Structure 1
Amino acid sequence: MFFHNTMRPFTLCCTFILGISPVCGQMESEVYLSDFESRHGVFEVSAPINISRNPGYDNQPYFLGDDDLLYARTRNGQTDIARYSLSDQKTVWLSDTPGGSEYSPVKIPGKEAVSSIRLDTTGLQRLYSYPLEGGPPELLNADLKIGYHIWYSPELLVCTVLTEDRMDLVVVNLRDKSQYTFQQGAGRSLHRIPDSEHISYTAVEKGKVVVKSMHPISGATEVIAVLPEGVQDMYWLDASHLICGQGNELISFNTRDKGPWKSFYALENPKSKITRLAYNGPSGVLAMVIETQD
């Protein structure tokens, strides 16, 4: 395990551009890591350790393999992609773009590169590829104002796109340049469902945020769960367990028994708020974004 803290067993006014970039507000976000184990419905979580320790917006964690964590980190008034090593606990920069900020890093399948949203100071927002070993970024799509994205294959991209006053879920084929809108009013949480050919996304339906599955090729879809009130983000622990943060608590949902959401961990500070999550099963590490009031 990465950490050696005692683990605790449990049973089961801010404005954003596309929900990405905080342009005003009073919440500071930091990235924390915890050891995490799941055994027959019992989750064990160690006390989280702050690995960003940086004023401003530190957010959107993404595990790159078993040892590296990528996240958006504030630097010199903008946001770049940082790469944190779990083994040596050191941080290096993956991007350095004067006049622009990067968000939402995701590994591109089949390439030694990461895709990321770049928001320029001019207001231009586009998806770029950044080589892991350094080098100039490459523009991947010049037509769409993408907010969040996930790769289904090296050619097929599932993303949320700003359209008028909403975000739409769009499937883009980068090889033949085709694209189609799958659903209007999509949310910001996109994930590959473990052990499945489907991805999950969130959407607002009848005033509630629902988690839905979709097959980008066949178009098959179904509702998986309804997120608790006030929650926008979730993550898959495995093929049947969802987790999310609600206030200062971590809660889980079993997609097989369809029971209620259950709390299994709480931060000591009741004013803290857990938002985005990322989990790496082989290393047994959970990344949490925790916001605290100034």
Structure 2
Amino acid sequence: MRKFVFLASLFLSISFTSSFAQNAFDLVVVKTEGKGKNLKIVSGSEKLLTDRNAYDNQPSFINEYQLVFSAADEDGNHDIIVYNFESDKFTNLTKTADRSEFSPSITECGQYIASVVMEADGTQRIWLYPTNFGEPELLYDDIQPVGYYDWYDNKAAMFILGEPNQLVYAQSRGNILTLDENIGRSIKRRPKTDQITYLSLDNPQELSEGSALELQAYDMKEKNKSSLGKSLPGSGDFIWLDKNTILMGRGNQIFSRKWNDNIWNKIGEISIDSHQNISRMAYSPDLDVLVVVMERINQ
């Protein structure tokens, strides 16, 4: 897999014992065993990676041993933090007082960490932060407000906030393709395919566990849209373990299913008394760990 080393070492500027925010989120690490459809959570292996009454969210692996996420500081600004599983150290990739960085991820070229940046005037666009700590670059100056995104052919498929929300793809400068609208916030390229996948908010199926949404796939080569079945009822975030296996969480439980099978199978549960409601997730097959976001319970 792609591997790089950060050339500078900055210390995490936020205390993981500080207390200032409500509706706080933490990152929880849990060990896994098996791969793909056979993945299981190792019971009792869960531990808090972050533990503070603040916003630590949107994790993404950038190589086999480093994770990035968005974290709020004591002033309410959000920075990109890198966690190294080998050294067990946190590092600030950004420390900006005039803007906030969200949804960090590695670009396909491996030279940048991309982020949705809320700029000083409230504009939301994608910026690129060099992995060698060079000066950041604006990716698309005229595409905003961006909420979320993923990559295909070194270009971004983006969730654009609006009424309704839209899924667009930057084919080239001046050629912005609208792929769909009224979509959920999870946008994921299906591994080893040409498909951008997302949840449609049209025609939800109301069940006792919550709404089940249609998982849609837009094929970037064929230029067509297809259905990959229903989401886990009551859940709006998903990831792909591989091109055949989808993972979603609900409450404190985690489920998986094959892309062509609507049966969701429970693969484990995370038991932490201080936290509930799994949302975003990131998986490392090299480390055999799953990182999940959970909401703190006010006690």
2:90 pairs with 1:87: no
The one of 263, 266, 270 aligned to 1:267: 270
Between 265-274 and 57-66, report the one with greater CA deviation: 265-274
1:169-228 Cα offsets, whole Å, 9 max, x none, are: 00113x433102111111111112123222211221212422111122432221112123
User: What is the rounded CA distance, in whole Å, between the counterparts of 1:133 and 1:152 in structure 2?
Assistant: 23
Match of 2:167 in 1: 169
1:177 partner letter = G
Instruction: Give the C-alpha shift of residue 113 in structure 1.
Output: 0.7
The one of 230, 234, 241 aligned to 1:230: 234
SS of 2:33 mapped into structure 1: strand
The one of 264, 279, 292 aligned to 1:288: 292
User: What is the rounded CA distance, in whole Å, between the counterparts of 1:260 and 1:53 in structure 2?
Assistant: 34
User: What is the rounded CA distance, in whole Å, between the counterparts of 1:75 and 1:234 in structure 2?
Assistant: 27
Match of 1:145 in 2: 145
Identity, in percent, stands at 25
Match of 1:200 in 2: 197
2:135 pairs with 1:133: no
User: What is the rounded CA distance, in whole Å, between the counterparts of 1:259 and 1:108 in structure 2?
Assistant: 31
Match of 1:38 in 2: 34
User: What is the rounded CA distance, in whole Å, between the counterparts of 1:105 and 1:166 in structure 2?
Assistant: 24
1:33-78 Cα offsets, whole Å, 9 max, x none, are: 1221225635242522211223311111100110100000111321
Name structure 2 gaps, 5 residues minimum.
1-20, 205-211
User: What is the rounded CA distance, in whole Å, between the counterparts of 1:125 and 1:239 in structure 2?
Assistant: 30
User: What is the rounded CA distance, in whole Å, between the counterparts of 1:106 and 1:159 in structure 2?
Assistant: 13
User: What is the rounded CA distance, in whole Å, between the counterparts of 2:146 and 2:266 in structure 1?
Assistant: 33
Counting matched residue pairs gives 267
2:203 partner letter = K
SS of 1:61 mapped into structure 2: strand
The alpha-carbon distance between structure 1 residues 94 and 32, as it changes in their structure 2 partners (threshold 3 A), is same
User: What is the rounded CA distance, in whole Å, between the counterparts of 1:244 and 1:178 in structure 2?
Assistant: 33
The alpha-carbon distance between structure 1 residues 274 and 190, as it changes in their structure 2 partners (threshold 3 A), is same
Name structure 1 gaps, 5 residues minimum.
1-24
Let me know the Cα RMSD of the aligned residues: 2.0
Q: How does 1:1-294 map to 2 (within 5 A)?
A: 26-38=22-34, 41=38, 43-46=40-43, 47-76=45-74, 77-143=76-142, 144-154=144-154, 156-163=155-162, 165-173=163-171, 175-207=172-204, 208-256=212-260, 258-269=261-272, 272-294=276-298
User: What is the rounded CA distance, in whole Å, between the counterparts of 1:216 and 1:193 in structure 2?
Assistant: 11
The alpha-carbon distance between structure 1 residues 198 and 262, as it changes in their structure 2 partners (threshold 3 A), is same
SS of 1:80 mapped into structure 2: strand
User: What is the rounded CA distance, in whole Å, between the counterparts of 2:230 and 2:148 in structure 1?
Assistant: 20
SS of 1:66 mapped into structure 2: coil
Kept after mapping to 2: 8 A contact 1:26/1:293: no
User: What is the rounded CA distance, in whole Å, between the counterparts of 1:33 and 1:183 in structure 2?
Assistant: 34
TM-score (norm 2): 0.83
Kept after mapping to 1: 8 A contact 2:125/2:140: yes
User: What is the rounded CA distance, in whole Å, between the counterparts of 2:126 and 2:102 in structure 1?
Assistant: 10
Kept after mapping to 2: 8 A contact 1:108/1:114: yes
Kept after mapping to 2: 8 A contact 1:171/1:216: no
User: What is the rounded CA distance, in whole Å, between the counterparts of 2:179 and 2:193 in structure 1?
Assistant: 19
SS of 2:179 mapped into structure 1: strand
1:119-152 Cα offsets, whole Å, 9 max, x none, are: 1342211111111111221111122211111110
SS of 1:141 mapped into structure 2: coil
Kept after mapping to 2: 8 A contact 1:112/1:132: yes
